[in-house]
Amino acid sequence: MRKPSIKGLFMFGVFLACTIPFILGCLYVQMMVADETRQDFEKTAFDAMERVAASVNNQLQPANHLISSFAKDERTVQLFSAIGRRIIADSSQLAPEEYQHIMVADQVYRESLHIALVTNTDGYIRYPDFLAKPEFDPRKQDWYRQAVMNRGRPYITEPHLQSGGEYAVSVVHTVEQDNEIAGVVEFSWSLRTLQQEIEKIDIGENGYIVVLSQQGKIIACPKHPEWLLQTSYELNVPELMYLDRQGNFAGREAETGNGELLYVDVLPNTGWKVVAVFDKFALSKRVGDRLYPILYIYCAVTLCVLLFIYLLAQKKVIEPIRYLINGAQAITDGSSYVPISIRANDEFSVLANTFNKMIHVLKKNTDKVVEQNLEIKKREREFKTLVENAQDIIFRLSKNSNVVYANPVLGNYTGMPSRWLIGRHIQDCGFSSLFASTVRNIVDGKAKDGSLEIELLNKSGETEYFYAHIIPEYNDSQTVETVLCVLRNVTHKRLMEKEMLRLDRLNIIGEIAAAIAHEVRNPMTTVRGFLQLLRKKERDGERQSFYDLMIEELDRANEIITEFLSLARNKTIKLNTMNLNGIIDAITPLIRADALMTNRRLQLELGEIPDLELDAKEIRQLILNLARNGLEAMTSGGTLTISTCEEQGSVILKVSDQGSGIDPKVLKNLGMPFITTKENGTGLGLAVCYSIVERHQARIQVESGSGGTTFCIRFSQVLA
């Protein structure tokens, strides 16, 4: 395949350098012209909307004002009383002053087609045509019902066709007497005037305006009068119902197939929607008329600039570059190198001389560089294979304790890719000040190496334990240049040791309690019995309170012995198939009573869960202990939440409070006997809970923070 020439490449580059800005400039100019033209259309639409709104307000505001005044006029109330149940067929049925009252209202609002008054007793009058049909029930008309629904204020009805063939809308208002609706008055307003006003508005060639009611009926459209009182759905143009209320353009295809642009707004007082329809081709034509002259001029200037650049660069750039490329190609092909000579006194001649010197030095050092590169690549491959496949955390630190290298395992714990840790200080990566101090001592020569156990938070926020071995790395002058750190995870080992210690301690306490419980309880029962007899004999004595106190303390001692017995690992439990929700429902009144006495609230969120093999007595004790601890941890007004759900084949029980949380120092030893924060607590309640959970082969997890504490017990023995 033939390689492209320098001249061809340069010509192609110059062509691209001029063509791309030309295309971008054309697009920008087109965008600006189109935007300006669109703004012109939007301004035209906005002016049209303003004129339509002004025309509607000029006709509706007097109607609203007149009908409100007419409906609240005392003479109107008297007129409704005079009409009663009658259907007025001519003026002779009215008193002169009553007829005069209606006639004046009609003359004041000249746009009205008629005025109708309907009483709540089926009476009716319509002025001036005195339409009277015995079978006609005006109270069943939609405008009557709408007036009653909008009692006390004027309401504009949907457009309708009058008996005389006139399109109209009505303004209705209730008339009240003694806070009761006496009837409804209606002013009918012709749409002919609005149609004529809109017809005068010019919004361009083939453009027109459509006014729709709140229910989507077309009120006015001079270009298509046959559309009146039809909805956009009936006309197969439902886009008119779903246009943007903020007045943005939206495109659609008209019935004729010609593209149109719509501009929509909503009249504030009526809720009517006004749509200005523009011919899309008229917009495109206006854009073209403005754009083409600009593009012609821009194209001519670009061609002139392109030609000038080409002629200038041909002589000053292309030929010197060709010489340099030929010389570099000779070196690349391994052929004998001929020094480059450019007959000019410019930058290219200086570049040719420098290029000749560079090639001389390059040939001299090539063999040495190749050998060093091969050795470096070999060591890098060995190191990378060893470190990146290790299970331990391995990283290297500079003398300033900044990370120089870290294997992927460290990134897995910190939650950040290893490359993001490069350059960070070791303490910024989550390591403690003790670890950083040990590294500093090794760098300063105060220690040859270091080994210690540290804690490190993983990406889930949990603490893990590592055994760290810190090794100094020396340079040729025998000073520490970098420090290599190897960390092995011993979390599982530490957790197993802690759990074994806790279980052994619980078991020992339970076994001791079981051995001495019988010997202690029998004397306590005898003492309690005699104290009760003495208390009955001295019912009114001064030592009555002493007996009560001694009996309470004996009962408390008995409860402590019972809790000790619950700690035994080999305690027998009686498992029965039952539902955890049933146990919670049974003890809910007891927990709710405790909550009410301390001004706390109890909330249950019990989901559908399968049955389990449970010891009902122990589960009740577990829930009561956790619930009472939660209530005691909260201030007045707090909420204790007990919830159940099924998750990943296990049944979950959660007890959550809104207290201040558990001290992290206490949280580490939670479940150990005699660990308590209560003033009079024994520290056995949670230890008993942990023993119950263990006997049911379940697991317990604790989440605590400033917003409260949640105990989560996961039962895995779900019945099929």
Say whether pLDDT at 16 is over 50: yes
Residue 369 lies in a domain: yes
Residue 146 lies in a domain: yes
Say whether pLDDT at 242 is over 60: no
Say whether pLDDT at 288 is over 80: no
Shared domain for 128 and 31, answered yes or no, is yes
Given 566, 601, 617, the domain boundary residue is 566
For the residues of 106-135, what is the DSSP string, one character each?
A: HHHSTTEEEEEEEETTS-EEEETT----TT
Residue 320 lies in a domain: yes
Shared domain for 543 and 665, answered yes or no, is no
Q: Both ends of the chain: CA-CA distance in Å? A: 73
Residue 605 has a pLDDT of: 94
Shared domain for 212 and 324, answered yes or no, is no
Residue 600 has a pLDDT of: 92
Cβ atoms 686, 675 nearer than 8 A: yes
Query: Can you tell me the mean pLDDT for 285-310?
Result: 73
Say whether pLDDT at 225 is over 70: yes
Residue 245 has a pLDDT of: 45
Shared domain for 503 and 472, answered yes or no, is no
Residue 254 pLDDT grade (very low, low, confident, very high; cuts 50, 70, 90) = very low
Shared domain for 7 and 111, answered yes or no, is yes
Q: Are strands 708-715 and 650-656 parallel, antiparallel or unpaired?
A: antiparallel
Residue 41 sits in a domain of what CATH number? 3.30.450.20
144-158, 330-344, 389-403, 474-488: segment of lowest average pLDDT: 330-344
Shared domain for 273 and 298, answered yes or no, is no
Residue 720 lies in a domain: no
Say whether pLDDT at 710 is over 80: yes
The residue type of 17 is A
Shared domain for 459 and 476, answered yes or no, is yes
Query: Can you tell me the mean pLDDT for 667-674?
Result: 70
Say whether pLDDT at 212 is over 70: yes
pLDDT in tens, 155-197: 888 887 776 677 788 888 999 888 888 899 988 877 777 787 8
Cβ atoms 231, 217 nearer than 8 A: yes
Residue 506 has a pLDDT of: 62
3-state secondary structure 423-436: CCEHHHHCCCHHHH
Shared domain for 277 and 290, answered yes or no, is no
Spatial separation of the C-alpha atoms in residues 573 and 697, rounded to whole Å = 12
Q: How far is CA 158 from CA 172, 179, 191, in A?
A: 11, 27, 12
For the residues of 364-385, what is the DSSP string, one character each?
A: HHHHHHHHHHHHHHHHHHHHHH
Residue 454 or residue 283, greater confidence: 454
Residue 313 lies in a domain: yes
120-134, 257-271, 425-439, 553-567: segment of lowest average pLDDT: 553-567
Shared domain for 325 and 343, answered yes or no, is no
Residue 654 has a pLDDT of: 95
Residue 504 DSSP code:
H
Residue 524 sits in a domain of what CATH number? 1.20.58
pLDDT in tens, 368-427: 877 888 888 888 888 777 777 777 888 889 988 899 888 888 877 777 787 788 888 888
Residue 602 has a pLDDT of: 93
Shared domain for 582 and 662, answered yes or no, is yes
Given 389, 407, 423, the domain boundary residue is 389
Residue 657 pLDDT grade (very low, low, confident, very high; cuts 50, 70, 90) = very high
Percent of the chain's residues with pLDDT above 70: 77
Residue 250 lies in a domain: yes
Cβ atoms 697, 716 nearer than 8 A: yes
Residue 571 lies in a domain: no
Residue 247 has a pLDDT of: 44
Most confident of 90-94, 279-283, 331-335: 90-94
Shared domain for 154 and 94, answered yes or no, is yes
Residue 241 has a pLDDT of: 52
Both tokens assigned to 16: 């691209």
Residue 702 sits in a domain of what CATH number? 3.30.565.10
Residue 257 has a pLDDT of: 46
Total count of residues recorded for the chain: 720
Q: Nearest to residue 631, comparing CAs of 684, 685, 566, 579?
A: 685
Number of separate domains in the chain = 6
Residue 428 lies in a domain: yes
Shared domain for 330 and 401, answered yes or no, is no
Q: Domain range spanning residue 428?
A: 397-488
Most confident of 98-102, 193-197, 563-567, 584-588: 584-588
Angle, CA of 413, 416 and 421, to the nearest 5°: 100
Cβ atoms 655, 631 nearer than 8 A: no
Say whether pLDDT at 606 is over 80: yes
Residue 713 has a pLDDT of: 93
In whole numbers, what is the pLDDT of the chain averaged over residues? 78
Query: Can you tell me the mean pLDDT for 530-549?
Result: 73
Given 238, 266, 282, the domain boundary residue is 282
